[in-house]
Amino acid sequence: MLYSNGGTNYSKYDCCCLWDSLSPEQQCELYNNIRLRLEQKRYVSYNAYQAMQESLREIERLMKQIAPPKNYNGSREFEAMVATGTLVTARYNGQTGVYTEEDVRRHNMTIIKHLHP
């Protein structure tokens, strides 16, 4: 995506090192953020490394504005929430927990299993 936006190989090593330092969830968030910015015709730096850093800062700022997802594992509401069919097992910040499908979408988590009554 960044090459089609005018990016070059100039910072390829730095980009690869930054990418490899991210978790799979962070990589997904970064990719989606850059893709969305390009689709919306928003500014994305021609320097791929700078574009990645700017996107990571934007993601961090946005995540601070969004409340963290509630992990229903072991909570009083667990049984009632399972009955609604809206809970799933997913990973957030490297830990598996029980979350609503809405929180999974909001936080770009990966669903491991749908919980049904």
Whether the pTM exceeds 0.95: the reply is no
> 19 in a domain, yes or no?
yes
Coil, helix or strand at residue 100: strand
pLDDT tens digits, 34-85? 999 999 999 998 888 999 999 999 998 887 787 888 888 888 888 888 777 7
Domain count, the chain: 2
Tokens of 39: 């689709």
pLDDT tens digits, 23-46? 998 999 999 999 999 999 999 988
46/89 same-domain check: no
Q: Provide the domain limits for residue 89.
A: 78-114
> 17 in a domain, yes or no?
yes
Residue 22 has pLDDT above 70, yes or no: yes
59/23 same-domain check: yes
pLDDT at 52: 94
Residue 117 has pLDDT above 70, yes or no: no
> 105 in a domain, yes or no?
yes
Q: Among 92, 88, 93, 96, which residue's Cα sits nearest to residue 116?
A: 88
Which DSSP helix (H) or strand (E) runs through 9?
Answer: none
> 1 in a domain, yes or no?
no
- Burial class of residue 108, CB neighbours in 10 A (0-12, 13-18, 19+): middle
